[in-house]
Structure 1
Amino acid sequence: MSEASASLRGEDENPYRPPVSPSAPLSGYPPAVWTQVVAGALLMLATLPGRTHGLGLITEPLLKDLQISHDSYAQINLWATLLGALVCLPVGTWLDRMGLRIGALVLLPALAAVVGCMSVYLKSGPQVAMVLFWLVLLTRALGQGALSVLSLAVAGRSFRHGSGAAAGSYAILLSVFFAISFGVVGSAVGSSGWRGPWGGIAIGLVCLMPVAFWLRGGAASQQAEAGTEKDFTLAQCLRTSSFWAYSAGIAAFAAISSGVGLFNQALLAERGFDQGMFVKFQSASFIIALLGQIICGAGMRWLPIRFWLGGALVCQAAALAAYSFIHTQAHLWTLAAFSGIAGGVITVAFFAVWTDAYGKRHLGRIQGVAQMCSVFASALGPLLLERGHAFFGTYAKTLIFAAPGCVLVGLLTLILKPRPHA
């Protein structure tokens, strides 16, 4: 088969190319790789209405409009998130069978329809809590679940062994895209309420549909040629200790990130910092996270991604323990440095480790399981932190007890290396 015909079928030009040398220049990546990286980032941006931070942009005006209590909404969100996570595994299998292009053409308009219905038809009334539950469940399942798996599969299939620049660029694009979208949507919600901006997001999802045609076509029989016979199946992957160590580490970070992100202002107030300092801390952490992503993306040329993941988890543990000891602004900026760099590195690791360790052939299934674990953890994180606060009387002491778990998982990640299956 010629290279031209391979390209028309949406396959790699040379599916048996050797791994990229750690010293290979950035120009060694073909333009198609960068197209997939940008497409994957745009598809992850499309998950905004199904993510905690996206729903958080409209929470207060939504609850006021529908006359629903915070406690009721918290229960709705918890169960919608947990049930929505279950879609990750079948979606991974479906994408491996049907192909990424078809996946995008189905999922983008489906999520747009749900978000549009939510903005137009959701009204207060006796059954509003049940209707809201089903709509949030669908946004979670289609956005945080299915589209996230699709985005990870798009980007992951474009990464090659040692492709730190591509993985780092993907993570940085996500940070920039989400930062811009949070600012635009948040400003619109503040000035005109939640319905108009939410309906605008639905229109935006439809406008993103042409991105599907950037994706490599083909079902599993064709996509398999991008991998090798040595690539892990899902069953083989699940039998490895390394997979569960990597998943546990990323899930721990997801739980901590969602819990601390939700209660960070209360956490810092507990240490004597006001709301203005909280905003500065959040902004600094975001900028430093970008630095962590750049460092990890470049560093993957010299150290395997599992070393970066393990080190970042240990760094995260140090940041958790440090909450109990911060008293000055210097302490606070040191904490922002540790937590920001750790978060940036772990973000890149989540996107890159599965391809690097287990290959491309069954990537959708493997990332589906990993994403499901991450979503479960992010749903439980705020609840566990709040329960710890109720038990200990302080958020900081709860985080100290979480730190040893991060250290343990980080060390396991450093030690456990994926082995070729039989």
Structure 2
Amino acid sequence: MTRQTAASNGPAYGWVIVALAALAMIATLPGRTHGLGMITERLLADSSLHLDRQGFGQINFWATLIGALFCFPAGWMLDRWGFRVTLSLIVGLLGLVVISMTYATGVMAFTLLITLTRGLGQSALSVVSISMTGKWFRRAQLPLPTAVYSILVSIGFMAAFYWGYGQSGRDWRSQWFELGGLLLVVLAPLFAILAKSAPAARHNETEHGITEGETDYTLKEALATPAFWIFGLATSLYGLVSSGISLFNESLIVELGFNKSVYYQLTTMTTGIGLLSNLTTGWLATRVRISTLASAAMTLLASALLGLQFVNSFPALVTYAVAMGVAGGMVTVLFFTIWAQLFGQAHLGRIQSVAQMLTVIASALGPVVLAEIKVRHGSYLPAIISLGLIAAVVAVTIPLIPIPRRHAQPRISPVLEPASST
């Protein structure tokens, strides 16, 4: 191997992979609720689409659920074909679909294209993005790159939202055509050039002379462990809570007796708190057991949700927002890190695809659950309290679940095993 090749495939190049992975996640924007939210009102006003608000909500719900199925082929492709082919292909297809949306007329064509953007963007491209760091870095190295990745994604989405809202006066078709062109003509070729897969040998290295291939789990084996399901439940529960509260946050704040303007103050505040939590969790993950961090995140989430019923002042509301922001930052880093640390790299794409599908389904159900409870009881609080109780049960359960490991091999990452008491 030449010096140039070694450098391009070495650990230092992993930081290029981190940046590309973050860019790939930002590229999911047209397939996400927040991305579509930028043009929702203009879509409803477009007479050629024949949409109404309730119908559009139903289209989004079913498109999200059907689109979740795209997680599976994306994970398989990533494990089999690597970063370059999988990433550039999915981004290119997403760009074509986004461009095709600008020519759509009628509900049927629009529904098909929305489903494809959900499948290719929110599901498939997300699976690839969140798996890239785990496939490149060894388990013990993962927490810091994952924290940096999370921060880059947050900053990127903020910049994308700023751009999107600045385009609110334009025709949605011209705006979406430019976005699709950016994906197809700029990002897909960029990924094809730069998105190198980690050398196969990296998957078999450990600091203890034991090959990681011996500890890697297949998808079937991972699904057979209680750890997969408890961590999957924890991250999906947060996704359900976050999507539901985010969509109805302004209404929820008004229900608590506060002015609508408080909503914007809290949104700005929680964004910064989430970024700080990302970095802190990445640092802690190198020193604290992953199950301890996950339990702490669920405890914070449960405390915030159960305490919301007692919020009657602005300082109390800020305390709630801080707890939610910290919990969200923790869950984000843990979700990006935990699957590679628990189950290895060889089949990470497939394993991550199932985990991503669970969160997508949960995120789709979140607004439905909160809206239904609001209609039935005239308040969001019964749903929020129930979700808080579930989070508390998950927090208590996580430390009781054994961490998956093969045979009696030496531990691979200090964050997976408790320190010896001797």
Are the equivalent residues in 1 in contact too, given 2:32–2:118 (CA < 8 A)? yes
Are the equivalent residues in 1 in contact too, given 2:239–2:362 (CA < 8 A)? yes
Map of 1:59 onto structure 2: 40
Cα-to-partner distance string for 1:77-128 (whole Å, 9 max, x where unaligned) = 1110000001101221122111111001211110001001112x123xxxx2
Map of 1:179 onto structure 2: 158
Map of 2:209 onto structure 1: none
Map of 2:54 onto structure 1: 71
Q: CA deviation at 1:313?
A: 1.1
Q: Distance in 2 between matches of 1:105 and 1:178?
A: 20
2:148 maps to 1:166: no
Q: CA deviation at 1:139?
A: 0.0
Q: What TM-score, normalized to structure 1?
A: 0.89
Map of 2:70 onto structure 1: 87
Instruction: Provide the identity percentage.
Output: 35
Q: CA deviation at 1:218?
A: 7.9
Compared CA separation, residues 217 and 300, structure 1 to 2 (3 A): closer
Residue of structure 1 aligned with 2:17, choices 15, 31, 36: 36
AA at the equivalent of 1:40:
A
Cα-to-partner distance string for 1:347-399 (whole Å, 9 max, x where unaligned) = 00110001111111110000000001110110111001111112222012220
Map of 2:417 onto structure 1: none
Are the equivalent residues in 1 in contact too, given 2:369–2:383 (CA < 8 A)? no
2:230 maps to 1:248: no
3-state SS of the aligned residue for 1:274?
coil
2:170 maps to 1:192: yes
Query: 1:10-409 to 2 correspondence within 5 Å?
Result: 30-65=11-46, 66-119=49-102, 121-123=103-105, 128-162=106-140, 163-188=142-167, 190-206=168-184, 207-209=186-188, 210-217=190-197, 225=204, 227-409=212-394
Report the more deviating stretch, 301-310 or 132-141.
301-310
Report the more deviating stretch, 134-143 or 97-106.
97-106
Are the equivalent residues in 1 in contact too, given 2:304–2:324 (CA < 8 A)? yes
Are the equivalent residues in 2 in contact too, given 1:159–1:352 (CA < 8 A)? no
AA at the equivalent of 1:148:
S
Q: CA deviation at 1:180?
A: 0.4
Q: CA deviation at 1:4?
A: 5.4
Q: CA deviation at 1:222?
A: 7.5
AA at the equivalent of 2:58:
Q
Give the count of matched residue pairs.
396
Q: Distance in 2 between matches of 1:193 and 1:291?
A: 37
Cα-to-partner distance string for 1:207-262 (whole Å, 9 max, x where unaligned) = 1121332222489x778557422111111100000000010100001111110010
Q: Distance in 1 between matches of 2:195 and 2:3?
A: 17
Are the equivalent residues in 2 in contact too, given 1:165–1:298 (CA < 8 A)? yes
Q: Distance in 2 between matches of 1:98 and 1:139?
A: 22
Structure 1 runs of 4+ with >6 Å offset: none
Q: Distance in 2 between matches of 1:224 and 1:269?
A: 51
AA at the equivalent of 2:195:
L
Q: Distance in 2 between matches of 1:323 and 1:200?
A: 42
Report the more deviating stretch, 131-140 or 64-73.
64-73
Are the equivalent residues in 1 in contact too, given 2:306–2:389 (CA < 8 A)? no
Compared CA separation, residues 217 and 159, structure 1 to 2 (3 A): closer
Q: Distance in 2 between matches of 1:241 and 1:413?
A: 10
Are the equivalent residues in 2 in contact too, given 1:111–1:202 (CA < 8 A)? yes
AA at the equivalent of 1:260:
I
Q: CA deviation at 1:72?
A: 0.3
Q: What TM-score, normalized to structure 2?
A: 0.89
Compared CA separation, residues 144 and 223, structure 1 to 2 (3 A): farther
Quote the RMSD (CA, aligned, Å).
1.9
Cα-to-partner distance string for 1:22-65 (whole Å, 9 max, x where unaligned) = xxxxxxxx321211110100011110000111111111111111
Q: Distance in 1 between matches of 2:344 and 2:273?
A: 30
Q: Distance in 2 between matches of 1:5 and 1:414?
A: 45
Are the equivalent residues in 2 in contact too, given 1:309–1:410 (CA < 8 A)? yes
AA at the equivalent of 1:338:
A
